């Protein structure tokens, strides 16, 4: 269990201030009415944080990671199966090696590897350490926006928001570092 430290709380506040800068109309958003969409998009990192906290708190310590991955993916498939049929979105692989079949195989392999790494890192280093991956996801998202959509984030985004996120991360990591006995 991670104990709260003042520097960690300040780091979280600094990181949130960086995110808040993205919500300022006319500063980082192309149109002020996009703030609602940005708030909706922020649900994803909130959900990632909840998964990290839940896995860190309730992961059975003796359960092998491969068993947890199997249970997670089978349960997800069983949960989604009736929804797929009810909405007419069921896909039955044809077995001839079409593009859809390959896409499903690759997506499945990526999910298996991701969740295996997720449970193993949580087991070895804890949820706080794994949560740093979410910062890499933010940087990757910015990189993809630049590469794919030719977006050019302004100085306000780089200097204000992203810098505050990195400073907040550094503060939290410093606070989580184990003190010598």
Buried b (16+ CB within 10 A) or exposed e, 83-122: eeeeeeeeeeeeeeeeeeeeeeeeeeeeeeeebeebbbbb
Which residues of the chain are modeled with pLDDT < 70? 1-4, 23-29, 156, 176, 178-181
Instruction: Give tens-digit pLDDT for 10-61.
Output: 888 888 888 777 766 566 667 777 778 877 877 887 888 889 889 989 999 8
Instruction: Say if pTM beats, i.e. exceeds, 0.85.
Output: no
Backbone angles phi, psi at 3, to 5 degrees: -90, 145
Closest alpha carbon to 52 in 123, 146, 112: 123
């Amino acid at each position: 269990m991670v104990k709260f430290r003042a520097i960690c709380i300040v780091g979280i506040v600094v990181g949130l201030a960086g995110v808040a800068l993205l919500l300022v109309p006319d500063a980082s958003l192309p149109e002020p009415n996009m703030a609602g969409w940005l708030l909706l998009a922020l649900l994803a990192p909130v959900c990632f944080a909840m998964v990290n906290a839940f896995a860190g708190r309730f992961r059975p310590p003796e359960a092998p990671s491969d068993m947890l991955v199997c249970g997670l993916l089978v349960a997800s498939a069983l949960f989604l199966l009736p929804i797929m049929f009810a909405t007419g979105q069921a896909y039955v692989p044809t077995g001839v090696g079409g593009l859809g079949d390959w896409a499903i195989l690759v997506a499945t392999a990526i999910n298996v590897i991701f969740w295996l790494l997720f449970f193993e890192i949580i087991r070895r280093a804890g949820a706080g350490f794994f949560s740093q991956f979410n910062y890499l996801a933010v940087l990757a998202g910015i990189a993809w926006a630049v590469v794919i959509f030719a977006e050019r984030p302004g100085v306000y985004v780089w200097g204000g928001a992203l810098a505050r996120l990195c400073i907040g991360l550094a503060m939290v990591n410093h606070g989580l570092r184990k003190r010598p006995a």
